[in-house]
Chains A and B, each alone.
Chain A
Amino acid sequence: MGTMTIDGRKVEFTDEKNVLTVIRKAGINIPTLCYHSEVSTFGACRLCTVEDDRGRTFASCSEEPRDGMVIYTNSGRIKKYRKLIVELLLAAHCRDCTTCIKSGECILQELAHRLGVRDIRFENTREIHEIDTSSPSLVRDPNKCILCGDCVRACEELQGIGALGFAYRGTEAMVMPAFNKKIAETDCVNCGQCRVFCPTGAISIKNHMDEAWEALADPNVRVVAQIAPAVRVAVGDHYGQPKGRSVMGKIVNALHRMGFDEVYDTTFSADLTIMEESAEFLKRIEKGENLPLLTSCCPAWVKFVTDQYKDFIPNISTCRSPQQMMSAVIKEYFREPEHAQGKKTVMVSIMPCTAKKAEAIRPNSFTKGEQDTDIVITTTELIRMIDNFGLDFASLDPEACDMPFGFGSGGGVIFGVTGGVTEAVLRRLTDDHSKEAMREISECGVRGEEGIKEFSVPYKGMDVKICVVSGLANARKVMDRVKNGEAEYHLIEVMACRRGCIMGGGQPTRAGDRTKAARAKGLYNADNTMIIKKSDENPLVIELYDTLLKGKEHELLHNEFY
């Protein structure tokens, strides 16, 4: 508690952990490249340096607020230093902004513009390094790295993977995996959080937009899209729509205009997942085997378990993820000649996730040895495609998805936020359809942005113990406790990214606390307005089990991990 003076104005502070936070709360957007409130403070970029009344300069991210502090954020000296820092960073940086994938979203580019850097006085003497395209999800370009270490800390502290690290020293320092291995050769799970944290184009999404345009241009191809729940709440703010508001109808319209023949909703197959996973869960509880059940919707988490917790592979749900169920069902549907109409079907999946790109090519999720999901486009790529096409997104009228796979229940929609899968399973397990029952489930401890949520719910006289986790570092904590017999659960839901898919590695970056909260709220609001809340009440799902899925449930909806 106390008061400090920032640029001549008195500012109150309470428990802010550093001066930087107080300055930002006072309405001054002081620039940073290496500061993220969710990971440890690093103090490397020095852009948040401020001056006090004694002429002392310090990095405001690394200084605790003290009562009576007098701070200047924009003194002549500070402005000069700040500009020089950006100039020096640019001196050793690739400057091909016009062709850079990060152009327009790059913080370094923005700062150079904001601080008025018009000329780089220094010669670029950095040697050119090879670009790593080995990963199915991400591209690492060391030439665009500014050594802020954001990716290193995100990978290690949030995700508990630590695939990246600093190597060498001084002018030779670089960020790389151990022994400069390719990303594909490391423990990387393709979650893409490094790319979310990277302020420049040093780590970016491996793009598949060209493949999608190619399919759209081919008259002999039926291009089918599926849209994941978390996508609809992350596109609008790019086009001036309120943060977190679902713009599903506009996305559907945009895709139709771009030439997609059919546009379906992944919440439909999320309902299928709930049907299958609930049945599997009950069967395992009945037999008392392979518990806890580990959810299998998140491919980064699945890779984490299959790589690092091999003993628990039998615990992973055999259910395919909603993406893979959707693609398998759709491919099967269009395999029938009356639906195929002589056209080849290309499945384009629009996801908030970079790991989905890896999941699509994971051989154990193929049907009859064939890849079901042909192209995975992240939310970020979708926005680029909309821009590329020149659509005025804000003015598009909403449209409905196509039938027969264009509708999902409220339980399917909330898959995109941590706890959503569990909540949908709990809805499925109750016979009570009343809104009181739905509310009771939502208040059992399943909601909220905490990384680890533990609670139990009564089911047929037993106490079902559940743990809902987001962030793989949290998952590691939980798995180690389970492994050492310190904790026992019946069900563990894990989403690799903190807060769930709404903050996935393929989502638009630079989401602050308000955006994060708004995206979760957006999905819960979408659920609130849904007449059908329970997956087992989705009439399209019920019909599918009686028709196309009959006798093919296992082939189309499940996969084995061993």
Chain B
Amino acid sequence: MLDQSYYRKTDEIIEHYGRKAASLIPIMQDIQAEYRYLPGELLTYVASEIGVTEAKAFSVATFYENFSFEPKGKYIIKVCDGTACHVRKSMPVKEALMKELGLTHKKHTTDDMMFTVETVSCLGACGLAPTLTVNDEVHPKMTPEKAVELLEELRGEKA
């Protein structure tokens, strides 16, 4: 059960975009921006408030890779696997990160809620391939070694 504050915040967001079916995506985006994920309870709540069925809202939320029902880590690392990054060996970078963090293809977030590792299709920085972003900050020309160093740096920041 979510705290009442979640629903109050969601009400604010709904008011901002208006109680109509067309507001569904911007509302979900704002909720996700607020909590770093889209709590399922809030999706159900939003659906009933703006008059779409729960199944339809779920359909939209699962269609877009961007929405996540799982809480994400403090640092969201998006490894680009667009064509340019892929041929410049982006996958070994991702695998190095996953190995270092103990993640799998089903498990994207570390237990301490520090890191989430995802693949994205193209970050539009093909000249800097292979590239990744940490909370929207771009890191160019990555290698598996540089990726592990980056993790250590971020962990250091935590300490």
Contacts and interface: CB of A to CB of B under 8 A. Distances in A.
B68 interface: no
Interface stretch (A24-32, A166-174, A533-541): A166-174
B56 interface: yes
A156 B53 contact: yes
A168 B67 CA distance: 11
B80 interface: no
B53 A167 contact: no
Q: Among B54, B55, B56, which residue has the most Cβ atoms of chain A within 10 A?
A: B55
The 8 tightest CB contacts between A and B, nearest first, are A162-B53, A165-B55, A178-B58, A178-B54, A165-B59, A178-B55, A167-B62, A168-B62
B63 A164 contact: no
Contacts of B79: none
B44 interface: yes
Contacts of A518: none
Interface string B45-66: 0010000011111110011000
Interface string A173-195: 00011110000001000000000
Contacts of A156: 53, 56
A179 B53 contact: no
A164 B53 CA distance: 9
Specify the main secondary structure of chain B where it touches its partner.
helix
A177 B54 CA distance: 8
Interface in A182-235: 186
A178 B57 contact: yes
Contacts of A163: 53, 55
A169 to B, nearest CB: 5
A178 B44 contact: yes
Nearest to B59: A165
B62 A162 contact: no
Given A162-B53, A164-B55, 5 more contacts: A156-B53, A163-B55, A167-B62, A169-B62, A178-B44
Nearest to A160: B53
Contacts of B63: 166, 168-169
A149 to B, nearest CB: 11
A429 to B, nearest CB: 39
B40 interface: yes
Contacts of B40: 179
Contacts of B62: 167-169
Contacts of A176: 55
Contacts of B43: 178
B16 to A, nearest CB: 24
Given A178-B44, A179-B40, A166 B53 contact: no
A232 B43 CA distance: 46
B24 to A, nearest CB: 13
Contacts of A152: 55
Contacts of B53: 156, 161-163, 165, 178
A480 to B, nearest CB: 11
Given A178-B44, A179-B40, A167 B56 contact: no
13 contacts: A156-B53, A161-B53, A162-B53, A165-B55, A165-B56, A165-B59, A166-B63, A169-B63, A178-B54, A178-B58, A179-B40, A179-B54, A186-B54
A163 B47 CA distance: 13
Contacts of B58: 165, 167, 178-179
A168 B60 CA distance: 8
A210 to B, nearest CB: 32
A179 B56 CA distance: 11
Nearest to A172: B62
A422 B40 CA distance: 44
A165 B43 CA distance: 15
A398 to B, nearest CB: 46
Nearest to A161: B53
Nearest to B52: A162
B130 to A, nearest CB: 24
Interface string A146-164: 0000001000100001111
A388 to B, nearest CB: 36
Interface in B7-59: 40, 43-44, 47, 53-59
B50 to A, nearest CB: 13
B40 to A, nearest CB: 6
B133 to A, nearest CB: 22
Nearest to A180: B58
A110 to B, nearest CB: 29
Nearest to B44: A178
B105 to A, nearest CB: 13
A161 B63 CA distance: 21
A179 B62 CA distance: 10
A167 B63 CA distance: 7
A165 B47 CA distance: 13
A166 B57 CA distance: 10
Contacts of B44: 178
B156 to A, nearest CB: 38
Contacts of A165: 53, 55-56, 58-59
B28 to A, nearest CB: 14
B113 to A, nearest CB: 22
Nearest to A169: B63
A235 to B, nearest CB: 34
B136 to A, nearest CB: 24
Nearest to B56: A165
B137 to A, nearest CB: 28
Interface string B140-158: 0000000000000000000
Nearest to A177: B55
A518 B44 CA distance: 43
Interface in A29-53: none
B7 to A, nearest CB: 18
Nearest to A166: B59
A168 to B, nearest CB: 5
A477 B67 CA distance: 33
Nearest to A163: B55
Nearest to B63: A169
B57 to A, nearest CB: 7
A162 B53 CA distance: 6
